[in-house]
Structure 1
Amino acid sequence: MVMKVIKTEKEYQAAMSRLEEIFDSKKDSKTADELELLSLLIEKYEDDTSPIDLPDPIEAIKFRMDQLGFKQKDLAKAIGLKSRVSEILNKKRKLTIDMIRKLHDTLGIPTDVLIKEY
């Protein structure tokens, strides 16, 4: 397959078909480099045509709290009073820069998610 930037859905489908054919290539085989390049081209096309928007920051906080088994009191240790946490989780109070930093450190949520408007 000739490697070139994927610009159309037809080219994308052809690239996906080829990817399926060579997917199980051995690391040092002739098709290993083709597999890697094709994967990058497909990823670029998908990023350009179907960008995924960042999640709502409050929903991200709730999701991560659930994953970690955190309660509001656990979050209060990081960002202040339990009542403040409640206001934030109910979208009645905006996150401050300091809160964003502490949430990033405590929950591991990327700052670009936390600074998004909600």
Structure 2
Amino acid sequence: MENIRPIRTEEDYDWAIAEVTKYFENEPVVGTPDADRFVMLTDLIEAYEDKHYPIEALDPISLIADYIERTGKKQAALAEIIGSRSRASEIMNRKRALNVAQVFAISRAWKLPAAELVKPYHLDVDERERVETQKGPRQAGL
């Protein structure tokens, strides 16, 4: 492979980006040495970026919000899937956690990975709710 080298520094990274950019202007034909060089450069760039600029995975609510935004849907579409506008609002506002049935329904309807939807995430509960949850049903007067 002509002029391929590991990416160890920011200068190497800048060089690789400049090299791969040329191929966007003049796309190589699949199966040619230039196409192979393009693939190798993009693989090197990806490995360097994964190591030096990792992107944190979205939590379940951020994943749903991202999907809604990318597809031009509204929160009402989520409400249709889970069967309740108020539940959809509580979920998206992090007041209520997704349950297994909701995860299954969202995953099936929108083809989002269930494994990503069941990951733990932060809920925003007010102080009164937090205290009542810590006390348990009897002490909270329930």
TM-score over 0.5 for the pair: yes
Residues 75 and 88 of structure 2 are in contact (CA less than 8 Å); yes or no, is this contact kept in structure 1?
no
Residues 65 and 107 of structure 1 are in contact (CA less than 8 Å); yes or no, is this contact kept in structure 2?
no
Match of residue 73, structure 2, among 49, 69, 74: 69
In structure 1, stretches of 5+ residues that fail to align are none
Residues 6 and 41 of structure 1 are in contact (CA less than 8 Å); yes or no, is this contact kept in structure 2?
yes
Distance 1:21 1:63 in 2: 32
RMSD over aligned Cα atoms: 2.6
- How far residue 71 of structure 1 moved from its aligned partner, in angstroms, is 4.5
C-alpha distance 27-68 of structure 1, shift in aligned 2 (>3 A): same
TM-score of the superposition, structure 2-length normalised?
A: 0.64
Distance 1:6 1:116 in 2: 35
CA displacement, residues 20-61 of structure 1 (integer Å, 9 cap, x when unaligned): 345522324332211111111111111111111223432432
What is the number of residues matched between the two proteins?
A: 117
- SS class of match (2:33): coil
In structure 2, stretches of 5+ residues that fail to align are 123-142
Percent same amino acid at aligned positions? 31
- How far residue 79 of structure 1 moved from its aligned partner, in angstroms, is 2.2
Q: Which residue of 1 aligns with 2:19?
A: 18
Distance 1:60 1:101 in 2: 15
CA displacement, residues 46-101 of structure 1 (integer Å, 9 cap, x when unaligned): 111111122343243234335353443x4344324332222212211011233222
Residues 20 and 42 of structure 2 are in contact (CA less than 8 Å); yes or no, is this contact kept in structure 1?
yes
Task: Give matches, 1:53-64, under 5 Å.
Answer: 53-64=56-67
Task: Please tell me whether Structure 1 or Structure 2 has the larger radius of gyration of its CA atoms.
Answer: 2
| Poorly superposed stretches of 4+, deviation over 6 Å | none
